[in-house]
Amino acid sequence: MSILKLQYIMSNEIAKRPFISRPPEPPSSVLINDPYKAIFIGTTNIFKVPFSWTFDNLTNPHIAVVGITGSGKSYFVKTFLIRANYIWDTNAVIIDWASEYKAWVKQSGGVIVSFGKGDFLNIMDLSGMRPLDRTKQIINSFEILTDISQFPEQRRLTEEAIEQSYMNFGFKLADIPPAEKEVPTLKNVIELLQEKLQEGTYEYPAEMENAIYRLRQFAREGQDYFARKSTIDLSKLAVSGLVDIDLSGLPDEQHRALAALVILQILKEKMRIEGWSASKGLKTLVVLDEAWKVAGDEKSDAVMIVREGRKYQFGLIVASQNPTDINEAIFSNVGTTFILRTRFEKFLNYLQSSINFSDTIRNEISSFGVGQAAVDMAFQTSLNFPHVFTLERIHGEEPLYIYTINMSDVLTKAEVDSGAISKDYQFEAEELKNKLIEINIGSEEINNIISEFDSHSRTMNMNEFANLLKRSKISNRDIVVFLKSLSIDDILITRIISNESETGSVNSVEV
């Protein structure tokens, strides 16, 4: 039996004992970095240390950002990209699922590529790759997006027809292609398969028909966004400053995902070809925001970029409201995770078990305000301090004016209580202006609307706002288009329009 003995001990001795003294935040030597080589993010919660981010001591430069809608993910990404560009001249390619970044990129003087609204991408572009390798990548995308892997014969037919099309255009499958040589499109591939079908010599015509049908979805007249000559030079994408790939004009998730996958393939290839340049912190950042299909699949090149990116100074930023949508190979390999407000127990459990933080931090996360964040960093060497800490707020480039349209005067109490319907719509000034431009409102009216909004402390009820639009001579049809662009339910739109009609003269409106 051991005997309990009292000891005299100096407090500085106690302080050396990690279980008592373990500070709640990493030491400032880790948090504070050379401002010319690191990105300022915000001030820590407890010791108010200005935290600047660098990946020098981290396992890799990749970043995951999670948090509910409106928690500030996209705002963080924008702030980060601006500062990375300022410090390292970092290029950025944003795969912009829902056109969230477009207005900002335009305003920052970046390049905008709008698929489905005038821009085309020929998925058979080689961008310096051998046709053999490019064919494999195209098939890989089809495997992620369609059921082709369940039909080996159709897969074989498709692969062969793609290769044959390259050969028909004078390419050698295993040779690096000459630059500027015209490449085939999916339409050529489909023609080849059709010719073969018509010859009538092939044993399983049904397989052939299905293979053709599958490809046609991407080549139909009017929806041939990926089966025409490209309007952009893919090989320059990674070095063109700030580039927004706006996918919102494409008809469905499958088309959006195909564009995203092809762009990742090309970027990954560029990354490998261009190799190391020791002069820069990060050469290019690729942003995947809410791109769950692309961030979630094991076969997606997002995974390859995460595995190999560091040595090429290529960083990936994935943002998602649902952390379980991010592939584990990505999530467990990112060097830094920013956790913004997260509410669902399921997601909190997942984050807590994969990142391993205290219940205190868990509680903080679930009650964070906009822009507040917990940060987890994966250091190359194991260190004797907590790797998760919280920030007062992500400190953006400039004070932002946020305009809020509140739905409480449209929703019933039960709808508000159910929490299923969004109560507030929030916009940055530019974002709101752009939405109004999209429904063809003149600049004078827009300025009037904004100043009216300003005089209401930038918060208005929806019915009030709809009346304001009406007074600005905006037709019901355009108001409906505006409301639809916020993804408001048709039933609620009818409610808003008919309420508003009580104060103005309105003719009937189709929703």
Which one of ligand ADP, Mg ion, none interacts with residue 481, CB within 5 to 8 A by kind?
none
For ligand ADP, which is the closer residue by CB, 209 or 428? 428
Smallest gap from residue 341 Cβ to ligand ADP (A): 8
Three-point CA angle 27, 28, 32, nearest 5°: 140
323 neighbors 350 (Cβ within 8 angstroms): yes
468 neighbors 449 (Cβ within 8 angstroms): yes
Q: How far apart are CA 308 and CA 306, in angstroms?
A: 6
Q: Which of 74, 158, 337, 467 binds Mg ion (CB under 5 A)?
A: 74
Smallest gap from residue 225 Cβ to Mg ion (A): 24
Which residues share a beta bridge with 402?
A: 428
Closest C-alpha among 208, 235, 219 to residue 134: 235
Stretch that binds Mg ion, among 2-10, 40-48, 69-77, 306-314 (CB under 5 A): 69-77
For ligand ADP, which is the closer residue by CB, 92 or 303? 92
Smallest gap from residue 394 Cβ to ligand ADP (A): 4
Smallest gap from residue 35 Cβ to Mg ion (A): 27
Report how many residues bind Mg ion under the rule CB under 5 A: 2
For ligand ADP, which is the closer residue by CB, 67 or 177? 67
Note whether 320 binds Mg ion by CB under 5 A: no
Smallest gap from residue 46 Cβ to Mg ion (A): 28
Find tokens 């600049």 and name the residue. Answer: 443
Stretch that binds Mg ion, among 66-74, 239-247, 261-269, 364-372 (CB under 5 A): 66-74
For ligand ADP, which is the closer residue by CB, 75 or 218? 75
For Mg ion, which is the closer residue by CB, 98 or 506? 98
Closest C-alpha among 302, 244, 265 to residue 115: 244
Binding mask 231-270 for Mg ion (x = CB under 5 A): ----------------------------------------
Which one of ligand ADP, Mg ion, none interacts with residue 428, CB within 5 to 8 A by kind?
ligand ADP
For ligand ADP, which is the closer residue by CB, 127 or 321? 321
Closest C-alpha among 489, 465, 491 to residue 479: 465
Note whether 71 binds Mg ion by CB under 5 A: no
Closest C-alpha among 257, 264, 231 to residue 112: 231
For ligand ADP, which is the closer residue by CB, 51 or 312? 51
CA-CA distances (angstroms) from residue 70 to 8, 291, 423, 483? 53, 16, 12, 18
Total Cβ atoms within 10 A of residue 149 = 14
Q: How far apart are CA 456 and CA 452, in angstroms?
A: 7
Q: How far apart are CA 264 and CA 293, in angstroms?
A: 13
Which one of Mg ion, ligand ADP, none interacts with residue 450, CB within 5 to 8 A by kind?
none
For ligand ADP, which is the closer residue by CB, 258 or 319? 319
Smallest gap from residue 460 Cβ to ligand ADP (A): 15
Smallest gap from residue 291 Cβ to ligand ADP (A): 13
For ligand ADP, which is the closer residue by CB, 170 or 369? 369
For ligand ADP, which is the closer residue by CB, 60 or 336? 336
Q: Which one-letter DSSP state was computed for residue 176?
A: P
Smallest gap from residue 336 Cβ to ligand ADP (A): 16
Three-point CA angle 421, 422, 428, nearest 5°: 165
Stretch that binds Mg ion, among 72-80, 132-140, 349-357, 496-504 (CB under 5 A): 72-80
Stretch that binds Mg ion, among 65-73, 187-195, 462-470, 479-487 (CB under 5 A): 65-73
Closest C-alpha among 270, 163, 187, 190 to residue 171: 163
Q: Is 154 exposed, middle or buried (0-12, 13-18, 19+ CB in 10 A)?
A: buried
Which one of ligand ADP, Mg ion, none interacts with residue 293, CB within 5 to 8 A by kind?
none
Q: Which one-letter DSSP state was computed for residue 338?
A: E
Range 192-200, long-range pairs (CB < 8 A, 24+ positions): 192/161, 192/164, 192/165, 192/168, 193/157, 193/158, 193/161, 196/161
Smallest gap from residue 319 Cβ to ligand ADP (A): 7
Which one of ligand ADP, Mg ion, none interacts with residue 128, CB within 5 to 8 A by kind?
none
For ligand ADP, which is the closer residue by CB, 137 or 337? 337
H-helix or E-strand containing 242?
Answer: strand 242-246
Residue whose beta carbon is closest to ligand ADP: 371
Helix ranges, 243-368 (H): 253-274, 292-296, 301-312, 328-331, 345-355, 359-366
Footprint of ligand ADP (CB under 6 A):
67, 69-75, 370-371, 393-394, 396, 400, 402, 426, 428
Strands (E), 293-430: 314-320, 336-339, 373-377, 388-394, 402-406, 424-428
Instruction: Give the chain's length.
Output: 511
Note whether 33 binds Mg ion by CB under 5 A: no
Site of interaction with Mg ion (CB under 5 A) = 73-74
